[in-house]
Structure 1
Amino acid sequence: MKKLLLPFLVLILSLFNSCSNDLDTNEVTEKNTPQSYDVYVAGRENSKACFWKNNVKTDLTNGDNLLPIEIKVENNNIYVTGSLGINPVSYKSIQYFWKNNVKTEIKQYLSIQNNVQYDITGFAVNNGDIYFAGYVENPIPASSLERYELCYWKNGVKTLLRKGQFIPSAEGVFINGSDVYVSALVVDNNQNIDRGYFKNTTYNSLNNPDYVFNFAKNNNGLHILYKKNSKYYSKNITTNTETLIGDYTASLPFYGKIVSDKSTNDLYTTYYGNGISYFKNNTVINPTFSALPFIQDLFVLNNNIYMIKYNTQNSTYNGKVFINGVESQNINSLQNGTINYTGTFNSIHVVEN
């Protein structure tokens, strides 16, 4: 499938929806008249990292036994991050990345010395510039109070955000104009934990929510997602306004994700990797178009919803890609180790032509 000709898809959807309410029981499913879209899915097949563009697979160079985490496409350049992790749902540490299928080791790219602790978990691309965020251990600290450094890197050049005795973490990195935002967990030298975000090198507390996640931007402002008191909240950093999204019922609430639809200003929130529902703004949506229970990833463009759903049972992984509730791609694989499936769908990104 070279292109997804969505006018034809909308016709199919209209027939489908006339017979069923399975797309979303709580959401109006009218779509804009779409143009042509390229759909990119990162995952692996036969235990080899790869990506698909409109169902056409490309194996990633030297990707044997590696796990893709995230795929982004900008100006016809394709970026994929990858890890040594075996869990297709929750592993987020970045050890490698590919730009147009050229593989680079993250430690080498960021000039991280051997035999030090580090964890790189934030990734962004903006106008061809590549950003990473995370922490790294200083091999020769001035004192034990400066052992760990929370940082972001632009094209491999490090910017220090904070030093400390205890390990911090970065969740998301987002570029807004000339400003760099990093959502983070920070720990002071008295072991007090706080969560918030950096704007450039200035820290802004969110009054210590339970977890902090990523950023999404629309015409109303820049939003950050976090969880407190078992509920999702977002904060519009531009207007300093907090919004309750809804109850957060997942038992292991570590991987929230918020995305925006630039054409409508709607915000979509999901429990990234293990949610069974998602929010459109603050309305919960329970997709019933598939028996697969879990949402691995979600992308929204021009009011069209692109979703990876999956299930794992009886040592088998079954994953599918849906466009407005219509299946467009699927993969099945078996376990190779405790939770290591030989084939998975992990991340989705869509580009309008």
Structure 2
Amino acid sequence: MKKIIIIIITLVLFGSCKKDEPAPIVVPIITSINPIQGNPDTEIAINGSGFSTVVSENIVKFNGVVAKVSSATSSTLIAKVPISSGSGLVEVSTSKGSANGPSFTYIPDIFVGGIESNGSKFVGKYWKNGVAVNVTNGTNNVTIYSIAVSGNDVYLAGYETVGSVKVAKYWKNGIENILSDQSKDAFCYSIAIDGTDVYVAGSEFNGNQYVAKYWKNGISVSLTNGQVSAEAHGIAISDGNVYVTGQEALPAGPLVAKYWKNGIATSLTDGKYDASAWSIVVSGNDIYISGYEDNGVNYARYWKNGLTNALSYNGNNIVDQIDQIVVSGSDVYVAGRQSKTALYWKNGIAVPLTNGSNLSFAHSIFLYGSDIFVAGNEFNGTAKVGKYWKNGSAVNLTNGFFDCSPWGIIVR
């Protein structure tokens, strides 16, 4: 009888010990992802095991950037590729642990803003990865000079000719925002987004002269008093400061290139010759501005903190056109044109994009990693073909039946 009791107690104790053992920890494991490459916002299936069935309990990262998870099972997560995340490992974390999966190849989105003729009128549009999106209906002629992208929102700035009046506007996701009163000519040349604020630089006729100004969320801020002609061309926002480039005439007539910081003007030229400032970049404590001075010797140039850097091509100092400037570290890039050749300069050294046999333009430049993107056009004998160049290789945006002028490019 004692032996039976001992055996029963032993079995009870053994059974109690088994019940007290903790459940095994199920850590996440990634076995595959599909697809393995894609653009921002592409939905990716992450396959494996050990995922939480509660969406919010799964933290997914692409190359270290947190992604939005839309659905979850224990074996599959669906997540969107974060904007500007770049290429790198996919990671899943739960309360139980973390796992690294295969590497994902990030393909950036390429946005190009501009205009294309429909045979009778110029239509405002942008191209996303080569696919055109019209923002105007072709009833009136439109000119687009600038593009900005923030999140999933696409902004274009320019003007629309309504009757005999040029109306300053910007478009957000195809919805127009009228900036001028539509009674006198007005133009928009550049747009910048800072958080939820929209800044547009341009000019508006006051009945006597053009006034340089910018609009913040549709409210105009005049930079000149309207007694002499002036224009605002480029705009940049840095640390809450508003920088605008442009030109203002002297009473005697010559145009002075200048920029305004929070409305305070700084002249870049002395007024001996016509000059104008176009694009601006603020990098740390340095201010870079592209423009020109028509002194008969040097035309295209950029200024760094007010100091002139002349640009030339094949020994020719009279460069025909200068446009956007961008900066990466200590490297300075400027897009432009000499005679028929579209080109850009890197630290003052010209890099031609076309061979000079057909008239071509380079209007905008953007740097993405080690890649250099330039937007412009080239005449094909019939029309100007809209295109961009990636590291010198051309990608056509239009079929060449009608004129097209891309003026801005953004890659992210």
**TM-score w.r.t. length of structure 1:** 0.70
Question: Distance between the aligned counterparts of 2:347 and 2:258, measured in 1?
Answer: 21
Question: Distance between the aligned counterparts of 2:265 and 2:156, measured in 1?
Answer: 29
2:288 to 209, 223, 244: 223
Tell me if 1:36 matches 2:107.
yes
- Name 1:56's counterpart in structure 2: 131
- The 1:325–1:149 alpha-carbon spacing in structure 2 relative to 1, beyond 3 Å, is closer
- Matched to 1:286, the amino acid is P
For structure 1, list consecutive stretches of 5 or more residues without a partner in the other structure. Answer: 5-31, 86-92, 336-340
Report the Cα offset of residue 96 of structure 1: 2.8
For structure 2, list consecutive stretches of 5 or more residues without a partner in the other structure. Answer: 1-36, 41-86, 89-104
- Name 2:302's counterpart in structure 1: 234
Cα pair 2:298 2:318 within 8 Å, conserved: no
- Matched to 1:59, the amino acid is N
| SS of equivalent to 2:225 | strand
- The 1:251–1:242 alpha-carbon spacing in structure 2 relative to 1, beyond 3 Å, is closer
| SS of equivalent to 1:333 | coil
1:281 to 340, 347, 369: 347
Report the Cα offset of residue 117 of structure 1: 4.2
- Name 1:130's counterpart in structure 2: 198
Question: Distance between the aligned counterparts of 2:360 and 2:244, measured in 1?
Answer: 28
- The 1:218–1:293 alpha-carbon spacing in structure 2 relative to 1, beyond 3 Å, is farther
- The 1:281–1:2 alpha-carbon spacing in structure 2 relative to 1, beyond 3 Å, is same
Tell me if 1:307 matches 2:377.
no
RMSD across aligned positions (CA): 3.6
2:146 to 70, 83, 89: 70
- Name 1:101's counterpart in structure 2: 174
Deviations 1:306-348 (A, max 9, x none): 123532254333333332234444422335xxxxx3xx25134
Deviations 1:71-92 (A, max 9, x none): 211222210124347xxxxxxx
- Matched to 1:52, the amino acid is W
Deviations 1:243-264 (A, max 9, x none): 34445958784x41233244x4
| SS of equivalent to 2:367 | strand
- The 1:162–1:317 alpha-carbon spacing in structure 2 relative to 1, beyond 3 Å, is closer
- The 1:202–1:120 alpha-carbon spacing in structure 2 relative to 1, beyond 3 Å, is same
Report the Cα offset of residue 203 of structure 1: 1.3
| Structure 1 residues 1-353: aligned runs within 5 Å | 3=39, 35-44=106-115, 47=118, 48-64=123-139, 65-84=141-160, 95-107=168-180, 112=181, 114-138=182-206, 149-191=211-253, 193-206=255-268, 207-208=270-271, 210-219=275-284, 221-228=286-293, 229-237=297-305, 240-246=306-312, 249=316, 253=320, 255-262=321-328, 264-271=329-336, 275-287=341-353, 294-297=360-363, 298-335=365-402, 341=403, 344-352=404-412
Cα pair 1:164 1:187 within 8 Å, conserved: no
- Matched to 2:407, the amino acid is S
Instruction: Report 1 or 2 for greater relative contact order, CA contacts < 8 Å, sequence distance ≥ 6.
Output: 1
Question: Distance between the aligned counterparts of 1:40 and 1:212, measured in 2?
Answer: 25
Question: Distance between the aligned counterparts of 1:160 and 1:125, measured in 2?
Answer: 19
Cα pair 1:259 1:300 within 8 Å, conserved: no
Question: Distance between the aligned counterparts of 1:220 and 1:283, measured in 2?
Answer: 24
Cα pair 1:212 1:226 within 8 Å, conserved: yes
Report the Cα offset of residue 54 of structure 1: 1.2
% identity of equivalent residues? 21
Cα pair 2:179 2:218 within 8 Å, conserved: no
Report the Cα offset of residue 223 of structure 1: 0.5
Deviations 1:23-51 (A, max 9, x none): xxxxxxxxx99943110122445624322
More off after superposition, 128-137 vs 171-180: 128-137
Cα pair 1:3 1:37 within 8 Å, conserved: yes
- Matched to 1:232, the amino acid is A
- The 1:290–1:261 alpha-carbon spacing in structure 2 relative to 1, beyond 3 Å, is farther
